[in-house]
Amino acid sequence: MPAFISNRLLAIGEAMVELAPEGGNHYQQGFAGDTFNTIWHIGQLLKERAKAGFVTGLGTDGFSERFIAEMQDDGLDTTAVLRIPDHTMGLYLIELKGVERSFHYWRKDSAARHLADDAPALNQALAGSGLIHVSGITLAILSPDARETLFAALSAARGAGSIISFDPNVRPRLWASTEECRQTIKSMLSFTDIALPSFDDEAWLWGDRDPDATVQRLMAHGVAEVLVKDGAGPVTAATGHGTLRIETPPVTAIRDTTGAGDSFNAGYLAGRFLGLEMEAAIALGQRLSAAVLARLGARADRSEIDAIRSVLGR
């Protein structure tokens, strides 16, 4: 069971303005991004039991102001948000074909690309954190120098006791080359305690033949806890004490697959923070993911989150 040195739980990455289809030519505007989706759900599940916060860069435009206000209204810590006057939030639009989605992005001037430009501020933001969650998208949007700054900050935080979780979340279009992606992820794995990959990403990037191969490869890098998501297939989970294969309950009313993996990550990490064993934490992640699949956009309905929290008895 991982030991969390504090109840300060952070995610690092980019939040964007989201346009999600409502039907016809109508779209609902919200805010989303892979690591933000994860920390938002963690914050709503844990409420006062944790201090959930987001480390990012924002502009001073109207959308950035609205996003800050929404985070604060939802109880998230915004003290580690860097404000960059000449940049804005990125934007993405979801295109649905049935329940499968594709994305169209406008993020060239995203302030989040500069979240690791100030090394002292980043080190201060991460100090004393119980959990720090990072994704491959976080790494991909940064310049090579900023990645090294982030790695140094993660190494220092981990050395002081922080647990580092990592979802590789491979987006080929964000990388200059496949080799750059591979080498950067290898570097990140040296700071990773909990890995939360999706098997389709790992098969594409590394040629893994099955989730067991992914587990073996990541554990060979020294990752202590590995969970391989495989869509509707079983979750393959492993520690140094053995491997579990947990069936994923069927979800019948899927409306949108956006954010399903991010919310699984949130449920699992929140469960481990609460002291749940691996199998129970996986079940929590699966239930939260199912709630997201039932809605358009990347977040679960608050009433469903409340129902899940009531089952936890927390």
Catalytic residues: 262
Report d(CA 251, CA 295) in Å as an integer: 12
Q: How would you class 283 by CB atoms within 10 Å of its CB: exposed for 0-12, middle for 13-18, buried for 19 or more? A: middle
In this structure, the strands spanning 81-83 and 90-97 are: unpaired
Q: How would you class 303 by CB atoms within 10 Å of its CB: exposed for 0-12, middle for 13-18, buried for 19 or more? A: exposed
Q: Is 161 left (phi over 0), alpha (psi -120 to 50) or beta?
A: left
Query: 285 is written with which tokens?
Result: 């992640």
Beta strands in 150-278 (DSSP E): 163-167, 194-195, 225-228, 235-239, 242-246
Chain-centre distance for alpha carbon 15 = 11
Q: Any residues with CB less than 8 A from the CB of 285 and at least 6 apart, and which?
A: 235, 263, 264, 265, 266, 267, 268, 271
Question: Residue 242 forms beta bridges with which residues?
Answer: 239
Work out the end-to-end distance of the chain between its first and last CA atoms, rounded to an integer number of angstroms: 19
**Residue 154 near residue 30 (C-beta atoms within 8 A):** no
Q: How would you class 183 by CB atoms within 10 Å of its CB: exposed for 0-12, middle for 13-18, buried for 19 or more? A: exposed
* AA letter at 158: R
Query: 86 is written with which tokens?
Result: 């000449």
Report d(CA 203, CA 144) in Å as an integer: 25
